[in-house]
Amino acid sequence: MIRFYEHHKRSLVKTLSFRILVMFFDFFIIVIITKRYDIALGVLLFSNFSSTVLYFFHERIWNNINWGKQNQINTR
């Protein structure tokens, strides 16, 4: 059986490229709605900062929940 392992660098690049894509489309949609670049930039910066902080605390809470976790036994 072949197991696929994704390196941390690949995950980081995928995460960053996805965030950039989302930010671009968010900015584009906000500019279409408001017709103002300054508002779009402000909303984009506030939204991304606050969602990053919220995600951090979300992860810390889930780190203390054991549901769905399994102990891994090394059989080598």
Query: Which has the minimum average pLDDT: 2-16, 24-38, 54-68?
Result: 2-16
Q: Are 7 and 24 in contact (CB under 8 A)?
A: no
User: What are 18-51's pLDDT values in tens digits?
Assistant: 989 999 999 999 999 999 999 999 999 999 899 8
Residues counted in the chain: 76
Three-state SS string over the chain comes to: CCCCCCCHHHHHHHHHHHHHHHHHHHHHHHHHHHCCHHHHHHHHHHHHHHHHHHHHHHHHHHHCCCCCCCCCCCCC
pTM of the model: 0.64
